Structure 1
Amino acid sequence: MTSSSRRGFLRDAGLGVGALAVPWLPAWAQPVSTGLAPALPTLTGPDITLTVDHLMATIDGRPTHAIGVNGTLPAPLLRLREGQRVRLAVTNRLAEETSIHWHGLLVPFQMDGVPGISFPGIAPGTTFTYEFPVVQAGTYWYHSHSGLQEQMGHYGPIVIDPAGADPIAADREHVIVLSDHSPLHPHAIFTKLKQQGGYFNYQKQTLAGLLAGRDQPARDRLAWGGMRMDPTDVSDVTGATYTYLVNGHGPKDDWTALFAPGERVRLRIVNAAAMTNFNLRIPGLPLTVVQADGQTVRPVTVDELQIAVAETYDLIVTPADRAYTLVAEAWDRSGMARATLTPRLGLRAAVPPLRRRPLATMRDMGMGEMAGMAGMHHGMRDFAAAPDVPRTPVVQTIAPMPTDRTGEPPQGLADVGHRVLVYRDLVAQEANPDPRAPSRQLRIHLTGNMERYMWAFDGVKLNAVTAPIAFREGERVRVTLVNDTMMAHPIHLHGHFFELVTGHGDHSPRKHTINVAPGGTATFDLTADAPGDWAFHCHMLYHMHAGMMQVVSVRPDPAAGAGA
Structure 2
Amino acid sequence: MTRRRFLTTTGSAALTGYLSLIGPAWAARPGIEKAGQFGELDATAAGGIDLYIENREVLVGGRPGRGIAINGSIPGPVIRMQEGKNALIRVHNRLSESTSIHWHGILLPFTMDGVPGISFAGIPPGETFTYRYRVRQNGTYWYHSHSGMQEQLGHYGQLILEPAEPDPVDYDVEHSIILSDWTFENPHRVLWKLKTMEGYYNFQRPTLANLDDQMSAIGMSLTEAVGKRLAWDRMRMDPTDIADVTGATYTYLMNGKAAHENPTFVARAGQKVRLRIVNASALTFYDFRIPGLPMTVVQADGQNVKPVETDELRIGVAETYDVVVTPPDDRAYTLFAETMDRSGYARGTLAPREGMSAAVPMQRHRPMLTMADMGMMMHGGMQSMQDNGKGGMDHDMSMPDEHNMADKPHHATIGSELPTENLPDRIAHGSDHHGPASITMAQTAYRRIDYPGAGLGDDGWRVLTYSQLRALDRPYGRRPPTRQFDLHLTGNMHKYIWGFDGKKWSESDMISFQYGERLRINMINDTMMSHPIHLHGMWMDLYAGGTLDDNPRKHTVNVQPSELLTVDITVDAPGQWAFHCHILYHMEAGMFRTVAVVRSLKGGPIDVDA
Answer yes or no: same fold by TM over 0.5. yes
Shift of residue 354, structure 1, vs aligned partner? 1.0
Shift of 1:389: 3.9
* Structure 2 counterparts to residues 60-79 of structure 1, below 5 A: 60-79=61-80
Aligned counterpart, 1:180:
181
Match of 2:17 in 1: none
Compute the displacement of 1:412 (Å): 1.2
- In 2: Cα distance, 1:414 partner to 1:132 partner: 42
Please name the residue that 1:302 is paired with.
310
| 2:366 maps to 1:366 | no
Partner of 2:338: 329
| CA distance 1:424–1:386, shift in 2 (3 Å) | closer
**What SS class does the counterpart of residue 67 from structure 1 fall into?**
strand
Contact 1:427 1:504 in 2 (8 A): yes
Q: Pairwise mapping of residues 142-221 of structure 1 onto structure 2 (< 5 A)?
A: 142-211=143-212, 213-215=215-217, 217-221=225-229
* Structure 2 residue matching 1:78: 3-state secondary structure: strand
- 1:377-392 alignment to 2 at 5 Å? 377=394, 386-387=429-430, 389=432, 391-392=434-435
Matched residue SS, 1:329: strand
- 8 Å contact from structure 2 (residues 429, 442) kept in 1: no
Letter in 2 for 1:42: L
Shift of 1:64: 1.0
> Which of 516, 525, 532 is the equivalent residue of 1:474?
516
SS class of match (1:218): helix
1:116-138: CA deviation from partner (whole Å, max 9, x where unpaired) = 11101111111111110000000
The aligned counterpart of 2:99 is 98
When residues 473 and 388 of structure 1 are mapped into structure 2, their CA distance, relative to the original with a 3 A threshold, is farther
Q: Which deviates more, 155-164 or 430-439?
A: 430-439
Give, in whole Å, the separation in 1 of the partners of 2:347 and 2:438: 37
* Residue 238 of structure 1: aligned partner: 246
CA contact (8 A) 1:222 1:373 kept: no
CA gap of 1:381–1:397, structure 2 versus 1, over 3 A, is farther
Query: Residues 72-151 of structure 1: matches in 2 within 5 Å?
Result: 72-151=73-152
Q: Which runs of 5+ in 2 are unaligned?
A: 1-25, 219-224, 386-391, 400-427
Name the structure 1 match of 2:407: none
Structure index of larger Rg: 2
Q: Please give the alpha-carbon distance, in whole angstroms, between the structure 1 residues aligned to 2:207 and 2:524.
A: 31
Match of 2:573 among 516, 530, 555: 530
Shift, 1:372, TM fit: 10
2:455 aligns with 412
**Residue of structure 1 equivalent to 2:56:** 55
The offset of 1:78, in angstroms, is 0.4
CA distance in structure 2 between the aligned counterparts of 1:205 and 1:494, rounded to whole angstroms: 39
Are 1:450 and 2:493 matched, yes or no? yes
Aligned AA (1:331): M
Measure the CA separation in 2 of the matches of 1:441 and 1:372: 26
Deviation of 1:276 after TM superposition, in Å, equals: 0.3
State the one-letter code of the partner of 1:188: R
Is the contact made by 1:43 and 1:76 (CA closer than 8 Å) also made in structure 2? no
Q: Is the CA contact 1:491–1:539 (under 8 Å) kept in the aligned structure 2?
A: yes
Is the contact made by 2:32 and 2:58 (CA closer than 8 Å) also made in structure 1? no
Residue number in structure 2 paired with 1:483: 525
Cα-to-partner distance string for 1:143-202 (whole Å, 9 max, x where unaligned):
000000000000000000001211111100000100000000100100100011200011
- Give the RMSD, CA atoms, in angstroms: 2.5
- Of 492, 502, 511, the residue aligned with 1:459 is 502
Report the alpha carbon displacement of residue 380 of structure 1 after superposing the two structures with TM: 11
> Which of 254, 269, 280 is matched with 2:277 structurally?
269
Give the counterpart letter for 1:278 in structure 2: Y
Q: State the shift of 1:292 in Å.
A: 0.2
Instruction: Give the gaps of 5 or more residues in structure 1.
Output: 18-38
Residue 343 of structure 1 deviates from its aligned partner by 0.7
Partner SS, residue 214 of structure 1: helix
AA partner of residue 234 (structure 1): I
Pairing of 1:339-378 with structure 2 (within 5 A): 339-369=348-378, 376-377=393-394
Mapped contact 2:103–2:144 kept (Cα < 8 A) = yes
Q: Provide the C-alpha distance between the structure 1 equivalents of 2:259 and 2:466, rounded to a whole number of angstroms.
A: 29
Distance 1:496 1:401 in 2: 29
Any idea what SS the aligned residue of 2:84 has? coil
Q: Of 542, 546, 549, which residue of structure 1 is paired with 2:585?
A: 542
TM-score by length of 1: 0.90
Q: Is the 1:409–1:421 contact (alpha carbons within 8 Å) kept by the matching residues of 2?
A: yes
CA distances 1:295-323 after superposition (whole Å, capped 9, x unpaired): 00000000000000000000000012210
- Higher mean displacement: 305-314 or 503-512: 503-512
Alignment check: 8 A CA contact 2:33 2:58 kept: no
Q: Structure 2 matches for 1:278-293, cutoff 5 A?
A: 278-293=286-301
1:558 and 1:442 map into 2 onto residues whose CA distance is: 13
2: CA distance, partners of 1:421 / 1:96: 41
Instruction: After TM superposition, give the deviation of residue 371 of structure 1 in Å.
Output: 6.4
Q: For 2:112 and 2:204, how far apart are their aligned partners in 1?
A: 42
Q: Distance in 1 between matches of 2:81 and 2:517?
A: 31
Mapped to 2, the partners of 1:120 and 1:362 lie a distance apart of 45
How many residues are treated as equivalent by the alignment?
531
1:222/1:372 contact within 8 Å kept = no
Shift, 1:233, TM fit: 1.1
Contact 2:383 2:398 in 1 (8 A): no
3-state DSSP of counterpart to 2:231: helix
1:309 corresponds to which letter in structure 2?
V
Greater alpha carbon shift after TM alignment, 232-241 vs 401-410: 401-410
CA distance in 1, matches of 2:172, 2:395: 56
Q: Deviations over 1:6-33 (max 9, x none)?
A: 866xx9xxxx95xxxxxxxxxxxxxxxx
Residues 7/187 of structure 1: CA separation in 2 closer, same or farther (3 Å cut):
closer
Corresponding residue of 2:408:
none
Cα distance in 2 between the residues matched to 1:458 and 1:312: 28
Tell me the CA shift for residue 347 of structure 1.
Answer: 2.1
The question of whether the paired residues in 2 share the 8 Å contact of 1:143 and 1:154 is answered with yes
Distance 1:134 1:181 in 2: 31
Cα distance in 2 for partners of 1:267, 1:386 equals 41
- 1:413-452 superposed matches below 5 A: 413-452=456-495
Q: Which amino acid aligns with 2:207?
A: T
Counterpart in the other structure of 1:223:
231
The answer on whether the counterparts of 1:223 and 1:372 sit within 8 Å (CA) in structure 2 is: no
- 2:438/2:502 contact within 8 Å kept: yes
Cα drift, residue 365 of structure 1: 1.2
Deviation for aligned residue 1:60: 1.8
Q: Distance in 2 between matches of 1:530 and 1:380?
A: 46
CA offsets 1:329-388 (integer angstroms, 9 cap, x no match): 010000000001111223210001211000011111122246699993469999xx9557
My pick for the range that moved more, 276-285 or 552-561, is 552-561
- Report the Cα offset of residue 557 of structure 1: 4.1
Aligned-partner Cα distance in 2 for 1:261–1:174: 15
CA distance in 2, matches of 1:228, 1:395: 12
Q: Matched residues, percent identical?
A: 52
Task: Classify the secondary structure of the residue corresponding to 1:543.
Answer: helix
Match for 1:342: what amino acid?
Answer: A
1:250 aligns with 2:258: yes
